[in-house]
Structure 1
Amino acid sequence: MKSRLIKNARIIALNEEFIGCLHMEDGLIRSVDRGDTAVAGAEDWAGDWLMPGMVELHTDNLEKHLSPRPGVLWNAHSAMTVHDAQCAAAGITTVLDSVVIGDLDEGGARSQTQHTSIAALHQCRDEGLMRVDHFLHLRCEVSAPDILEVFHQYADDSLLRLVSVMDHTPGQRQWRDLASYRRYTERNGRYNEAEFDAMIAQRKADQQAYALPHRQVIVKASRERHIPLASHDDTLLSDVQLAVLEGVSMAEFPTTVAAAQAAREVGMAIIMGGPNMVKGGSHSNNVSAAELAQLDLLDIFSSDYVPSSLLMATFMLGALDNWTLPKAARTVTINPARAIGLNDRGEIAPGVRADLLRVRMNRAGMPTVMETWLAGQRAY
């Protein structure tokens, strides 16, 4: 593999940033040095930032390509390759594609695409069609009646790196605010009062019947397989306490300061959404990522439904009091990588896989990905 030497780059290391040089060869970072170099042929990055490729644990971006409009299902292989290209352009070099299993909308797009999307993930990887590194994240809707059948089908999938347990029953967790829930559910069609009330009653009945026993089975099976676990939308102290008893290691999108503080006290990694940071708050009226960041209750950013939000959120976070750009960069690089046991990426250091980004600030003050490198190969 061709050896490359980069100079005059603003390198974002784990705890500092400096102007320096980086040498990569055979897919690995060979050396990182401060200052200039006189070696002929070095690529001059003219002061652009050089940072690790970003690691994404939870993105729903694939869903937008699988179902681009209500009632429209798209070819899964086409959806996967376009989603992959967007990740590369956004600077994401490792992505866990989130697939929801257990669809609360009977016959909805998620239930119709869960199998085809996982099959496309495998086939596109096997054929070498991917620009970046893809794995699988199973998002398990524990109150759905059919969840266990699908979960057991994929519990031993070779690409599975994360399982999250979630309960989107209205009236609790993410959807405590029923007005927000109604606006969200009516994005594809309206309910009259009787229909909305009947739907709420059915969701609550399903939760009573299925949520806890399904969660117990999924948690047990995941722990037996040593698959990292995340708990979704923790709100109350009791939510966090349940997750601790289950051995969950990540609090994914806690909805209150109290839940985030409880997660911090027991050593759980706290994940928040990049769109929440960029937009200045939660679309469902829950706690803002900026508020948790200012309380130092944020460890990992997820792009959630907008891949480009990761880089934007990182630079916004780095500008907050008590934060620095290197500390902010850790929320999208080494912290998520280590949370799922990936120890070969996520930092600028000798011996680490050469997953790298070239980032430039444009005149509008927006960080822009100029180049993305995966294991020393140009991906974007």
Structure 2
Amino acid sequence: MELSGYMILPGIVDVHGDAFEKHLAPRRGAMKDIDQGLIAAEAEIASNGITTATLAQFYSWEGGMRGAEFAACVFEGLQVIQARVGTDLRPQLRFEISMVEDYDTVVDWIQRHDIPYLVFNDHLPHDLLAKGKTPPGHVGKSLRIGKNPDRHLEDIMALHAGMDRVPAALDALCARLVELPVRLGSHDDATAEAREVWHARGAQIAEFPETQVAAETAQAQRDPVILGAPNVVRGGSHKGNASALELIMLGLCDALASDYHYPSLKRAAFLMADGGVMDLGAAWGLISTGPARVLGLEDRGALKPGLRADLVVLDPQTRDVCATISAGRVTYMKGDVAGRFVG
């Protein structure tokens, strides 16, 4: 196909994203057709030039779409629809460390669902719970997942009270996991000490470190650092954490992730190139070559002979995605490019 006048770049590799959730439950309680939701999500993913997408699914005490039952449906649905879509959709398990009673399930799921990437989270509001306070919005969140608010608060309080068991249990769990073909990471590290502990356990990917010192510690350990593309586009963290752009300029980023917004990957790359932070090749590398390396995918992330035919075709003026090709299969195409393809 003749593509003169267009930009041809490596397909985007998304190392962590949860924007697919809105396709799985477009309305409250509408979570029946997981397979159709995943197919719809794949269409959005492809339209943003992404050829490999890591779907970050929670396994959390928060319940609902973040609960264990829903997570199982998502992973099972992924296995069912993978052959029906062109994009390489890869599962990621985001597991809440306070759920000690579920540690055996994690090991089982990684093997049963072929999960190649596990990241550890802790989203319990410990400061509030330690003071005996109810987290903001607790009643509404409880009702949305169909749980009695008082019972939900009791369960959360119990998890908080049991945190003294977590370090030793995590050490044992990670010792089992490092023997499996799964990459391990930690999420939202705030201190050098936290990153050092996770590194020692074998969780050697640092997702969204909250501070510069945590990112610097990861770099010193040669652990890859993942930052959020929306943070770059917004010009800072919506939670007041370290600026992704500042960390990138300090050389403290190996890959950008879509996080909660697929279009931000492409936008972040061009924003950095236009702003003189780095040239487009280096900026695009943070959304292609870099994440491919983090995931251990040596067959993609660049346009080189022998690699997967993963590429994205862009309009040089508007920078719109005009075509996405994943492993040689067209997953998205529009406009003049589509006309050239069929003409």
Q: Tell me if both proteins adopt one fold, taking TM over 0.5 as the criterion.
A: yes
1:220 aligns with 2:175: yes
Q: How big is the shift at 1:150?
A: 2.8
Q: Letter of the 1:260 partner, please give it.
A: A
Query: For 1:75 and 1:329, how far apart are their aligned partners in 2?
Result: 35
Query: For 1:240 and 1:327, how far apart are their aligned partners in 2?
Result: 26
The structure with the greater share of residues assigned to helix is: 2
1:375 aligns with 2:327: yes
Q: How big is the shift at 1:106?
A: 4.5
Query: For 1:121 and 1:196, how far apart are their aligned partners in 2?
Result: 30
SS at match of 2:67: helix
Q: How big is the shift at 1:160?
A: 1.8
What does 1:107-118 align with in structure 2 at a 5 Å threshold?
109-118=66-75
Query: For 1:335 and 1:324, how far apart are their aligned partners in 2?
Result: 15
Q: Letter of the 1:302 partner, please give it.
A: A
Distance 1:356 1:196, change over 3 A: same
1:86 aligns with 2:41: no
SS at match of 2:43: helix
SS at match of 2:45: helix
1:141 aligns with 2:93: no
Residue 335 of structure 1, aligned match among 278, 290, 302:
290
Query: For 2:272 and 2:202, how far apart are their aligned partners in 1?
Result: 29
Q: Is the 8 A contact 1:274 1:304 kept in 2?
A: yes
What does 1:184-263 align with in structure 2 at a 5 Å threshold?
201-209=157-165, 211-263=166-218
Residue 341 of structure 2: aligned partner: none
Residue 8 of structure 2: aligned partner: 50
Q: Letter of the 1:376 partner, please give it.
A: G
CA shift digits 1:259-315 (9 cap, x unpaired) = 111111111111011111112222222112112112221110110111111111111
SS at match of 2:320: strand
Q: Letter of the 1:45 partner, please give it.
A: S
SS at match of 1:260: helix
Q: Letter of the 1:204 partner, please give it.
A: H
CA shift digits 1:346-365 (9 cap, x unpaired) = 101122211000012455xx
Query: For 1:122 and 1:284, how far apart are their aligned partners in 2?
Result: 34
Query: For 1:160 and 1:338, how far apart are their aligned partners in 2?
Result: 17
Query: For 2:246 and 2:280, how far apart are their aligned partners in 1?
Result: 18
Q: Letter of the 1:207 partner, please give it.
A: M
Q: Is the 8 A contact 1:49 1:358 kept in 2?
A: yes
Residue 240 of structure 2, aligned match among 254, 267, 285:
285
Q: Letter of the 1:205 partner, please give it.
A: A
Query: For 1:147 and 1:208, how far apart are their aligned partners in 2?
Result: 16
Q: What TM-score results when the alignment is normalised by the length of structure 1?
A: 0.77
CA shift digits 1:191-216 (9 cap, x unpaired) = xxx9998787445224334x324422
Query: For 2:29 and 2:151, how far apart are their aligned partners in 1?
Result: 20
Q: Is the 8 A contact 1:132 1:374 kept in 2?
A: yes
Distance 1:297 1:89, change over 3 A: same
How many correspondences in the alignment? Answer: 323
Query: For 2:155 and 2:242, how far apart are their aligned partners in 1?
Result: 26
Distance 1:236 1:143, change over 3 A: same
Residue 260 of structure 2, aligned match among 293, 302, 305:
305
Distance 1:104 1:197, change over 3 A: closer
Q: How big is the shift at 1:146?
A: 4.2
CA shift digits 1:53-104 (9 cap, x unpaired) = 1111211123222233344424111111011111111111011222222x22
Q: Letter of the 1:76 partner, please give it.
A: I
Query: For 2:151 and 2:103, how far apart are their aligned partners in 1?
Result: 28
SS at match of 1:225: coil
Q: How big is the shift at 1:321?
A: 4.1
Q: Letter of the 2:74 partner, please give it.
A: S
SS at match of 2:178: helix
SS at match of 1:346: coil
Q: Letter of the 2:98 partner, please give it.
A: S
The structure with the greater share of residues assigned to strand is: 1
Q: What TM-score results when the alignment is normalised by the length of structure 2?
A: 0.84
Q: How big is the shift at 1:108?
A: 5.8
**Identity score, percent:** 29
Q: Is the 8 A contact 1:270 1:300 kept in 2?
A: yes
RMSD of the TM alignment (CA)?
2.9
Q: Letter of the 1:51 partner, please give it.
A: L
Distance 1:64 1:249, change over 3 A: same
Residue 76 of structure 2, aligned match among 116, 119, 131:
119
CA shift digits 1:175-199 (9 cap, x unpaired) = xxxxxx8479967879xxx999878
